[in-house]
Structure 1
Amino acid sequence: MDAASDAAVRASWRALADAGLPSLADHAGETNRPHVTLLAADGLGGSADDAVRAIVASAPLPTLRLGGLVVFGVPPRGLVLARQVVVERTLLDLHARMHAAVDAAPVDPDPDADPVAVVPHTRPGSWTPHVSLALRLTAEQLGAAVTALGRLDPLDAPAAGLRRWDPRDRTTTELA
């Protein structure tokens, strides 16, 4: 996201933290920043990265429209509170092209490399685009979180880049 959109999402994170609620503001890692996950998979890298770079080079990244709140999860495991991203054709096309490119990417010839295993809920037809605000909320905290956030007007958030997160190494690779 661009700087203004990033700051707006971080303000929501801060409002939750200031209210004593779980918030992504509590995540101190240098790679933590507001984002939308388009694809999650184990074993990405190499030719998959090249395929994604080619897609992103072929068209500008879309502007995302952040809408109202959405909740994922089931108590007692913990709830995720997020801003929904309004689905529009450009975003759906980018998402579908990225998945198709990763699916078609050559397998890593390294025998020690992990096979690419895409997380099913990030696949086209199963994906709900969103920007997370808080993780591990209890049902009791949910109402307080909505109150702490107050009114959230729609926000146009130009995408400012694309990166791949490697959970094993806890690093990011900039792809666009």
Structure 2
Amino acid sequence: MATVVSVEAVFDAAAEAAVREEWAALAAAGMSSLAAHTSASNAPHLTLAVRPAEGGFGPFALPEEVASLLPLPVVLGAPMLFGAGDRRVLVRSVLPSAGLLALHAAVHAHLAHPGGSVAVPGEDAPHTRPGEWTPHVTLARRLRLEQVPAALALLGPDIPAQIVALRHWNADTATVTPLE
């Protein structure tokens, strides 16, 4: 997908600070880290839906069935690696819970069946579709394989978190819009 839009979950201040501390630790060790992305729109988040910008969706009002699920407790758990070759994406898993899966399903149901909002049906990225989604928070992209053991040693224990809000990300304009 070239240009995309997404719906993302954002965390409480303590969880955001804990993830940013891990970004900073990786960067201080000279490793790839999302700390290098200094855009105001860069914040720890959990992606719930991704679509091509053309035919995707724009900011919309959260339907009550989605908004009523927040705040939602989650756990940012064990590190995982995505990718192939000599570099990987380092992430923290987000432990699936009944509440998290209900939030994900509610967002996708709303996007698939617009009800007076600007959400429209679209082709979701495979990694965000219900049944194919691996919930995670990205820590680093393009981490060299030989750096993985040192990177893992920099990460702390599980991070208790609350999903406190959702936002709309537009990659074309590099903007985020809170969804209320």
What TM-score does the superposition give when structure 2 sets the normalisation length? 0.84
Q: Greater strand percent: which structure?
A: 2
* 1:131 aligned residue: 137
- Matched residue type, 1:21: M
1:44 aligns with 2:44: no
* 1:155 aligned residue: 159
Deviations 1:18-73 (A, max 9, x none): 10000000001110001111111122116xx23x4443333323111111101111
For 1:25-174, list aligned pairs within 5 A.
25-42=35-52, 43-45=56-58, 49-50=60-61, 52-76=62-86, 78-105=87-114, 116-149=122-155, 152-174=156-178
Displacement, 1:107?
Answer: 10
Q: RMSD over aligned Cα, in angstroms?
A: 2.2
Contact 1:72/1:79 (8 A) holds in 2: yes
Alignment CA distance shift 1:60-1:147 (3 Å): closer
Alignment CA distance shift 1:153-1:147 (3 Å): closer
Contact 1:2/1:157 (8 A) holds in 2: yes
Q: Greater helix percent: which structure?
A: 1
- Matched residue type, 2:173: D
Contact 2:90/2:138 (8 A) holds in 1: yes
Computing the radius of gyration from Cα coordinates, the structure with the larger value is 1
Displacement, 1:141?
Answer: 2.0
- Give the secondary structure class of the aligned counterpart of 2:134: coil
The count of corresponding residues between Structure 1 and Structure 2 is: 166
Contact 1:107/1:115 (8 A) holds in 2: no
Displacement, 1:108?
Answer: 9.4
Contact 2:69/2:99 (8 A) holds in 1: no
Between the aligned partners of 2:117 and 2:16, the Cα distance in structure 1 is 35
Between the aligned partners of 1:7 and 1:57, the Cα distance in structure 2 is 24
Gaps of 5+ in 2: 1-10
What TM-score does the superposition give when structure 1 sets the normalisation length? 0.86
- Matched residue type, 2:34: L
Between the aligned partners of 1:8 and 1:108, the Cα distance in structure 2 is 35
Displacement, 1:117?
Answer: 2.5
Alignment CA distance shift 1:140-1:107 (3 Å): farther
Between the aligned partners of 2:170 and 2:116, the Cα distance in structure 1 is 18
Name the % identity.
Answer: 42
Contact 2:75/2:158 (8 A) holds in 1: yes
